[in-house]
Structure 1
Amino acid sequence: MNSLVKATLISTVLFTASSVQANENPITAEISNLISNAISASIKEVKKNTLETASKVLKSESDKHAKKAVKNDKEENNG
């Protein structure tokens, strides 16, 4: 299980527990809401960073393959 899934599950359990307590106290409800928003923002940031990294890796690999193809074409044309 990857770290994003683990973090999501842990934060969901913690948030659910705090939400149960929040039903008895409005201040706790507000704190619980703030925690939920912070968790959501963190997860979105991790997803964004993961997608950006994957995109960079794919572009790099694509560039490498394109350079190899050009080099092979030149060698075939010269040889």
Structure 2
Amino acid sequence: MTIITIPKHLARKDLVLIPKEEYEALTRARVFKEVPMTKAQKRAFERAERNYAKGNFVTLDVLRRDLERRNSR
């Protein structure tokens, strides 16, 4: 068994201890297949970006509140 001493100044911060296998699984590169967008998807995405830049969006809290109001009727 390996024994290590952790200085107090390090232990006071955000120190996280996890098993080696779990650490290796977290650090492994994850590969995702990249799928090109269709023209319609690109247009929709660009429109969404413009709306967001203008401040034309709904927060999750507002959406939830509105949905709860609709369901309570």
Greater relative contact order (Cα < 8 A, sep 6+): 1
| TM score, norm. by length of structure 1 | 0.26
| TM score, norm. by length of structure 2 | 0.28
Greater share of helix:
1
